[in-house]
Amino acid sequence: MKFRESDGKKLGTFKVGNGPTGATFDGVNIWVANYGGNTVTKIRPADGTVLGTFPVGANPAGMAFDGATVWVANDGGRTVSKL
């Protein structure tokens, strides 16, 4: 969901993959970890458009952006994916 910061008004609900569990912002786009689908979805914050869905390891649960790369922690496989 997207909310306006100033008053908390809901601005939209956007479809991603199966079992969204975490999200991170890379300065331009939002990345959502889809735990049940073993994927990460990239969305444009302005309008919620899905820009792509990418396979990662088993059960992605958390993500971080280091200024250049999105890192995904895969709970099921005890691995980290680099996007």
Residue 26, domain CATH? 2.40.10
| Cα 23 from Cα 72, distance rounded (Å) | 10
For residue 40, what are its two tokens? Answer: 């990460």
CB 14, CB 43: distance < 8 Å: yes
Return the pLDDT at 57: 97
Return the pLDDT at 12: 93
| Cα 39 from Cα 53, distance rounded (Å) | 6
Alpha carbon distances (Å) from 65 to 12, 13, 14, 25, 68: 24, 23, 22, 7, 7
Return the pLDDT at 11: 94
- For residue 78, the enclosing domain spans 2-82
- Structural domain count of the chain: 1
At residue 81 the predicted structure's pLDDT band, cuts being 50, 70 and 90, is very high
